[in-house]
């Protein structure tokens, strides 16, 4: 049975991601390219609850992100579902808890998700490689930093409680 605390954490995380994404969009479209709080939520819960919870979280976060776009509904939903499942599956098989390993793992997973998303957008819309003047390439790095820091902070908090 699913712990109530994970569901409440997910709901709080989703609300924060919606708020952060909305505020970033109002401030500057470049910030939306660099910082993607929906990816943060997916990767965090994939590491904590593994593949099934990660896939469901990815679907929810991806579809929420798709509501902000003008493109085909479901592109981010599909890529984030695959991200959540893949990250959860790998994190169950390999210990990615140490901070250095965690950073590299999240960086690779975020980069794979970004490449998959961009490939689908290029295929569906016939767009070029548009990477926003290079700003989009910073997204995996910022994602790895935020997720690693939050994962380590939450891990320490849970250790103090136990």
Contact criterion met (CB below 8 Å) for 144 and 110: yes
pLDDT confidence bin for 32, thresholds 50/70/90: confident
The pLDDT score that the predictor gives to residue 122 is 85
* Pairwise CA distance, residues 75 & 23, whole Å: 22
Q: What tens digit of pLDDT does each residue of 61-117 get?
A: 999 999 888 767 788 999 999 999 999 999 999 998 889 999 999 999 999 999 998
**Domains of the chain in sequence order:** 4-153 (1.10.1760)
Q: What is the dihedral of CA 80, 84, 86, 89, to 10 degrees?
A: -170
124: number of CA atoms within 13 Å, CB side?
13
Contact criterion met (CB below 8 Å) for 40 and 147: yes
* Pairwise CA distance, residues 97 & 113, whole Å: 20
Q: What tens digit of pLDDT does each residue of 36-76 get?
A: 999 999 999 999 888 999 999 999 999 999 988 876 778 89
């Amino acid at each position: 049975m699913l712990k109530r605390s994970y569901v409440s954490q997910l709901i709080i995380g989703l609300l924060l991601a919606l708020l952060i994404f909305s505020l970033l969009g109002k401030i500057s479209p470049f910030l939306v390219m660099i910082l993607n709080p929906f990816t943060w939520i997916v990767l965090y819960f994939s590491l904590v609850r593994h593949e099934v919870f990660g896939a469901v979280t990815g679907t929810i976060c991806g579809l929420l992100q798709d509501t902000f776009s003008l493109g085909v509904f479901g592109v981010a939903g599909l890529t984030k579902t695959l991200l959540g499942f893949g990250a959860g599956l790998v994190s169950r098989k390999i210990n990615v808890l140490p901070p250095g390993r965690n950073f590299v793992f999240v960086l690779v997973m975020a980069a794979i998700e970004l490449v998959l998303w961009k490939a689908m957008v290029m295929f569906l819309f016939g767009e070029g490689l548009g990477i926003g003047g290079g700003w989009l390439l910073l997204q995996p790095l910022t994602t790895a930093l935020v997720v690693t820091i939050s994962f380590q902070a939450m891990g320490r908090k849970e250790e103090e409680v136990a």
